[in-house]
Homo-oligomer: A and B are copies of this chain.
Amino acid sequence: MGILPVIRHGRDARATDCAVHRGPTDRMKPTIHIRDQVIPTDAACVRDIVTSTGFFTQAEIDIAVELVEARLAHGLASGYEFVFVELSGEVVGYACYGPTPCTDRSYDFYWLAVRQVHRGRGLGGLLLKETEQRIRTAGARVIFLDTASRPQYAPTRAFYDRHGYTQAAVVRAFYAADDDKVIYTKKLVPGPG
């Protein structure tokens, strides 16, 4: 699954049917708001954000949206939790994470994406920090996330390197014959394991 916080190249955000609320703050310093409630319009927002990056296949985009829909349909029982970042009322990025089933306090970090036109403002790092804080508060022992070995994902890997993640394992040829799965981890509690 793609985890995408930092992209160097990609298409601009296309026209969107995602709710964007523009107000009097538009010409002022933008206000940043973080929320973890999930609302029905988030499905379209997530589709737009993930698509705007030019980074993901249609199948990957569909899965990103399905996770929001699963959360809307089943609540926390879905296993998917979200953090959204809004800039002056517009949803410009999000993260998705959740407890890994059948593990002792392992958490999966599933997605992190920032709308293409809002990149380079540190919003990926802010989302990562906000998400980690929630995962810690939930009592997690460790975080795992999957990314890919192909060159397109070099900035993604560098992002996690900078934020204290280490490579836990590489599964050769997982995504394709020439594309490995790279599993990153961050331990949240001291001691063995």
Contact = CB atoms under 8 A, between A and B. Distances in A.
Contacts of A152: none
A193 B168 contact: no
Contact of A104 (B102, B103, B177, B191): B177
Interface string A50-69: 00000001011001000000
Copies of the protein in its oligomer? 2
Interface centre among A2, A59, A60, A101 (most CB of B within 10 A): A101
A106 B174 CA distance: 7
A170 B169 contact: yes
Given A169-B171, A171-B183, A193-B172, A59 B177 contact: no
Nearest to A173: B193
B171 A102 contact: no
A1 interface: yes
A88 B187 CA distance: 50
A193 B171 CA distance: 11
A141 interface: yes
A192 B171 contact: no
Contacts of A169: 169-172, 183
Nearest to A168: B171
A175 B106 contact: yes
Interface size class of A (residues with CB under 8 A): 20 to 34
A72 interface: no
A142 interface: yes
A193 B142 CA distance: 30
Contact of A63 (B1, B102, B168): B102
B103 A175 contact: yes
A101 B144 contact: no
Contacts of A185: 171
Interface string A154-185: 00000000000000111111111111000101
